[in-house]
Amino acid sequence: MKQKGYLPRVVDRLIDDSLGYSGGILIEGVRACGKTMTGRQHASSEVALDSGLPQIRAALEVDPSLLLRGDVPRLIDEWQIEPSLWNLVRRQIDSRRLPGQFILTGSCVPAEDASRHSGAHRLSRIRMRPMTLFERGRGDGGVSLADLFDGRAPEPVLDSRTSVPEVLDDLVHGGWPGDHDLTTRQAQRHLRDYVEDVINIDVGRLDGEPRRDPVRLRALMRSLARHVGTEASFSTIAKDVSGQSLTAQTAVAYVNALKRLFIIEEQPPWAPHLRSRYAVRTSPKLHFVDPALAAAVTATSAERLLEDLETAGLWFESQVVQHLRVFAEALGGHVHHYRDKAGKEADVIVELDDGRWAAFEVKLGRRQIPAAQASLAAFVADVDTARTPSPAFTAVVTADGPTMPLPDGAVTFPLGALGP
């Protein structure tokens, strides 16, 4: 069902490919990130379980399988509202033995149910997130992640034609499709309402979850915003929750609820074979699915970020992680981070399923490129290439720097230039 004005997404190609071999696909992601619009773009018919239509309620009460009838691919929007549909879809896929039958979308992970089949070999899972700068039309995509892995260097561009204030404005605006045409001030107001809905409504609707205190949850989200992209422990996060008594165990439970809503994502550590004997840190980093949520929950504008460049740097790094997740997953890859107890680190490691990997350092300003380059070189020199392959490339990502090769073979480019 092609839609006028649809903004193409990086996952579109992955969806087309998956529908060619899998009986169905499950598009998961945070609420309002564009799952329904993207599902419609690839579907031939649809049923929206959250529409409130009486005929849908009647079908759910009498015979839920009636909702599976229609031209294929059949979109079942917000399937988790009626979890029993999962097994019905699986059985239909088994019965029809044809690819491309169903597209399911979901904005949260239902509670575990022993009677619900995993869907393995029947449904392919695809994660969606808010739009990248490339998808928003705020970046040119001149630096292709796929090309970098294939050894093709980008064309040098010495003027990024952007500035740190503009980049921070884009960060605070966020990548929600419904906010695409709003001003940054309007988008932030909208996101603050969104955060309040998450706190007061969405978490309470999660099945299998005890009631969460909205005041504590709001305070926890503000603490998470202050620790975005760090290895802060749950004890540290709990102690940082101002005005509320919160244990580390409670903080873990609250974060797990936010993970089920796809609001919070982990960036796990990477453990290569090393020449040195320094222990590798094993704590994941926590990120909001879009750092604009950190700005919303703390009521932080781009102007305020310019007055706190430490926070700006952490949130910009988180935005880079978000973009690399989107582009890497389209290549069958995943993002990690690396840090050992000697202080050697890489802000982001992208590892593909075929074993190729790349290391990234993230710096807000172009003047920090030499330091980032030296940090990457020190980290790579410690990797035991007899047991872990050498990186496909290393890169320094900035807000406003040039696109160009560096003397040691690394490459640098601004985030706005990055594409799939």
pLDDT digits (tens, 9 = 90+) for 113-142: 544 555 667 899 999 999 999 999 999 999
Pairing status of strand 404-405 against strand 411-414 = antiparallel
Predicted pLDDT at 398: 98
Collect all residues with Cβ–Cβ distance below 8 Å to 304 and sequence separation of at least 6.
none
One-letter amino acid identity for 271?
A: A
Give me the pLDDT at residue 340, please. 85
Measure the CA–CA gap between 170 and 185, rounded to whole angstroms: 11
Residue 114's pLDDT is 42
- Give residue-wise pLDDT tens across range 70-120: 999 999 999 998 988 999 999 999 999 999 999 999 999 876 654 455 566
- In 38-128, DSSP assigns E strands to 45-48, 74-77, 102-106, 123-128
From 29-43, 245-259, 348-362, the region with the lowest mean pLDDT = 245-259
In this structure, what is the dihedral angle of CA atoms 168, 169, 172, 177, given to the nearest 10 degrees? -130
Q: Is a pLDDT exceeding 60 seen at residue 374?
A: yes
Residue type, 388: T
Contact 102, 19 (CB under 8 A): no
Phi, then psi, of 360 in degrees rounded to 5: -130, 140
Residue type, 155: E
- What percent of the chain lies above the pLDDT cut of 70? 95
pLDDT at 75: 98
What count of Cα atoms within 13 Å lies in the side-chain half-sphere of residue 24? 29
169-191, pLDDT tens digit by residue? 999 999 999 999 999 999 999 99
Mean pLDDT value of segment 352-368 = 96
Contacts of 169 (CB under 8 A, 6+ apart): 184, 302
Question: What does 29-81 look like in DSSP terms, one character per residue?
Answer: ESTTSSHHHHHHHH-SEEEETTS--HHHHHHHHH-GGGGG-SSSSEEEETGGG
**Rounded distance, CA 39 to CA 75, Å?**
7
Q: Are 11 and 37 in contact (CB under 8 A)?
A: no
Give the residue from 231, 282, 234 showing the smallest Cα distance to 258. Answer: 234
Confidence at residue 279, expressed as pLDDT on a 0 to 100 scale: 55
d(CA 348, CA 124) in angstroms, rounded, equals 26
Lowest mean pLDDT: which of 112-116, 338-342, 413-417?
Answer: 112-116
Phi and psi at 392, nearest 5°, equal -65, -35
Per-residue pLDDT, averaged over 387-414, amounts to 96
Mean pLDDT across 261-283: 81
Looking at residue 117, its pLDDT comes to 59
Residue 231 has pLDDT above 70, yes or no: yes
190's tokens: 């909208």
Q: How many Å from the N-terminal Cα to the C-terminal Cα in the chain?
A: 25
Domains of the chain: 11-128 (3.40.50.300), 133-207+256-419 (no CATH)
Task: Give this prediction's pTM.
Answer: 0.95
Mean pLDDT over residues 140-157, rounded?
Answer: 97
Residue 376 near residue 122 (C-beta atoms within 8 A): no
